[in-house]
Structure 1
Amino acid sequence: MKVAYLLTQDRGGPVDVTVRLAATLAASGEAEVRVFGPLPARGAELVADLHELVSVSSKGDLRAGRQAREALRDWQPDVVHAQDRRAGLVSAGLRLRHKVVQTYHGLPDDVSEAWSRGTPGAAGPSKYTRTVLAADAGVARFVHRTVVPATSMGEFLHRRLRVPARRVVHIDNCVEIPEAAPPSGPVRRLVFVGLLVERKGFPVLLDALAGVMPDDATLTVIGDGPLRVAAEQRARQLLPGRVTFLGFRPDVAHQLRLHDALVLPSLLEQQPLVVAEAMAAGKPVVATDTGGVAEMLVDEAVLAAPGDVEGLAVCLKALFAEPDPGRLGRAAARRARERFAPEVCARRHLALYRDLLAGG
């Protein structure tokens, strides 16, 4: 079996998942694998022998899209798997010659959690975003299967975008599974990982910490984005000298091991990789109840409503006071090995590809 993965971006969750999945599937000997797209910012060494440079810098670049499809056709894969929104648009045109799969990694930024869940009276997204979602619906109805890492996203595709349920498959994301390093004492070193954009809810985190953060606690911020300058100013006002901004880092897994717990105050997520990475590292997680986060953490869930400063502060206060955070970390690490190991992810994708090629 020949499996081609298509990317149109060089960083972010879809890229990290693709790199890990492609490398694991290739190492299994069950498939011949190639990754088409820009050079990944993280983990490029894992797919160095599998990578072919392809660039589609915008969805309006029709020429680049045609060139990408030609590169894929030349390799003659049995399955083409698109791993981001633009890649899905490009790959849909290959449906008649190849089995085409896409992974639906997330919603546009101005879609609210309430609207995505169908809450009555919830404000909807902009006209532009509705156009994007209409295109998403068209692609999902056209390709052979759409993979969703969170069941809530499958429900959204079926309920909101009218995608037939039989075309949607739930497969968890995958992350590296290192030796767990749960905290050995009280949680004092928090870490936030994510883009500094409105959807990630970072101002909510600062406001929540301002009233409950112990004097000896710190927060490390990994990530960059348009709100970084404002975030740094706000951090100096609320928590002077206790928040460190590291910017984009390719070594997130290592950075997680240096801290006691992860906090993710997002307003909208699907199945955030950083939560799976923190779990794999044996770290407790405080997060918001958005997308598939609750089903990732299950019994160890410490969740607040998206945008709820007071609720998040209560969760953080409980985490700082937890007498045995290592217990939470060890339970999270066990769940991560069961659900998010690359071998598990590769096995489930391989079963999907075989089913499609057999006419399923």
Structure 2
Amino acid sequence: MGSVDDTAAPAPLRILVITTGLKLGGAEQQIAALARAFLALGNEVAVLSLTQGHEIDLPAAIPVTELDMRKTPLSMLAAQRKARLLVRQWRPDVIHAHMVHANLFARVLARTGRMPPVICSAHSAREGGRLRALAYRVTDRWCALTTHVSDAGRMAMVASGAVPDERVIVMPNGIDTSRFHPDQASREQARRDLGLGPDDVLVLNVGRLVPEKDQAMLIEAFAEVCRDLPKTRLMIAGDGPLRDELAQQVARHGLNHVVLLAGARSDIPELLRAADVFVLSSRIEGMPLVVGEALASGLPVVATAAAGVSELAGDTATLTPTGNPQALASALRNAIAALPGTETERDRRRQRIVGHFDVNGVARQWLAHYRSLRKQP
């Protein structure tokens, strides 16, 4: 009888991802990045979305099921039936849910019959109020593992009573460093496409136009910056319910010639290469992917100290208090004054992400967790 080869590659896994939705957003982009990495490592992935609408880029090899679930008992029961049928037909080895609604949905699903291990991942430092914390706590034992993308977010969940300390771990976001990297030729082309001159300084913000991202505070800060530095431009890439309100704020400050609300964009890697400084103005985060993407692109980063930022950036970014436009303006002025910076500084920022948060390494950590949970009785 031949000996067992302990060095053989582990068997591929079938991973069912359950997500609240597939609109553009940090958690959704992380789902896509991990899915691509899982496929590249020889595994199979299927995605189940509670809602309709598909804006993120997923590989064609990944089947996507959209439930179009409504907030009514009948719709939720119908969605659970469809999900159980999908599990029976596709036979996943593990179910990995992301974001609060999908996490609670997956936990209920786990109680309805024989199911593979269920993992629930939270992405925001503020998952919701008391009712959501209670729902998390009541259903905690229905999943095998709860994770958060940052230690600050993990501690917030524990403090709210949503999960016992010993039942939640930190699993960071992964950055696709093959997509986000410095490229001088790409930078020059992107700046030409944006109509930027050699003396123009582009400050870039990426995020949904919602109160948590606090672009209103960023615009206040930028109004101070451009008074002293008239060649500075601000682009805010993203869309959301505050677009009209922010446009009115830009107009009130007389900034229409230097501030662009660019809407949702599919060319974020190119925009990051075109930019000179990246700025994050958020009040609330979990672990902001775009900060990691900016650092992987070599950009100087000025960011508010929202949850997860310092864990991601270490000492490679300048952090300011949340909700403080004067502090943000001062940090932006200092970052612009230090341009163009050195290649050593650029490489140090990139290596922070490559060394700690590359998506392939994070995907391998997830696969190890999946296999460990499958072995548990």
Task: Check whether the contact 1:39–1:53 (CA below 8 A) recurs between aligned residues.
Answer: no
Task: Check whether the contact 2:125–2:154 (CA below 8 A) recurs between aligned residues.
Answer: no
1:224 to 2:224 alignment: no
Aligned-pair Cα RMSD in Å: 2.3
1:338 to 2:338 alignment: no
Task: Check whether the contact 2:94–2:116 (CA below 8 A) recurs between aligned residues.
Answer: yes
The code of the aligned residue for 2:213 comes to: K
Identity across matched positions, percent = 29
Task: Check whether the contact 1:173–1:345 (CA below 8 A) recurs between aligned residues.
Answer: yes
1:43 paired residue number: 57
Q: CA deviation at 1:295?
A: 1.4
Give secondary structure in 1 for the equivalent of 2:315.
Answer: helix
> Which aligned pairs between 1:132-211 and structure 2 lie closer than 5 A?
132-177=132-177, 178=179, 179-181=181-183, 188-211=201-224
In structure 1, the gaps of 5 or more residues are 112-128
1:104 to 2:139 alignment: no
Task: Check whether the contact 1:219–1:244 (CA below 8 A) recurs between aligned residues.
Answer: yes
2:284 paired residue number: 268
Q: CA deviation at 1:21?
A: 0.8
Give secondary structure in 2 for the equivalent of 1:174.
Answer: coil
Q: CA deviation at 1:162?
A: 5.0
Q: CA deviation at 1:320?
A: 1.3
C-alpha distance in structure 1 between counterparts of 2:352 and 2:199, whole Å: 22
C-alpha distance in structure 2 between counterparts of 1:170 and 1:149, whole Å: 6
Bigger drift between 137-146 and 16-25 goes to 137-146
- Structure 1 139/153 Cα, relative in aligned 2: closer, same or farther at 3 Å? farther
Give secondary structure in 2 for the equivalent of 1:103.
Answer: strand
Larger radius of gyration: 2
Runs of 4+ in 1 over 6 A off after TM superposition: 182-187
| Aligned counterpart in structure 2 of residue 312 of structure 1, from 328, 336, 344 | 328
Give secondary structure in 2 for the equivalent of 1:354.
Answer: helix
Bigger drift between 51-60 and 241-250 goes to 51-60
Q: CA deviation at 1:186?
A: 8.6
> Which aligned pairs between 1:80-91 and structure 2 lie closer than 5 A?
80-91=95-106
1:52 paired residue number: 64
- Structure 1 107/141 Cα, relative in aligned 2: closer, same or farther at 3 Å? farther
1:20 to 2:22 alignment: no
C-alpha distance in structure 2 between counterparts of 1:146 and 1:59, whole Å: 24
C-alpha distance in structure 1 between counterparts of 2:139 and 2:275, whole Å: 41
In structure 2, the gaps of 5 or more residues are 1-12, 189-197
Give secondary structure in 1 for the equivalent of 2:216.
Answer: helix
Give secondary structure in 1 for the equivalent of 2:182.
Answer: coil
Task: Check whether the contact 2:125–2:156 (CA below 8 A) recurs between aligned residues.
Answer: no
TM-score (norm 2): 0.83
Q: CA deviation at 1:137?
A: 3.2
Q: CA deviation at 1:144?
A: 0.9
Q: CA deviation at 1:171?
A: 1.5
Bigger drift between 277-286 and 92-101 goes to 92-101
- Structure 1 345/59 Cα, relative in aligned 2: closer, same or farther at 3 Å? farther
C-alpha distance in structure 2 between counterparts of 1:141 and 1:340, whole Å: 29
TM-score (norm 1): 0.87
C-alpha distance in structure 2 between counterparts of 1:134 and 1:187, whole Å: 51
C-alpha distance in structure 2 between counterparts of 1:72 and 1:306, whole Å: 43
Residue by residue over 1:266-288, the C-alpha shift from the partner in whole angstroms, topping out at 9 and shown as x without a partner, is 11111011111111211111111
The code of the aligned residue for 1:86 comes to: H
Q: CA deviation at 1:94?
A: 3.6
1:93 to 2:108 alignment: yes
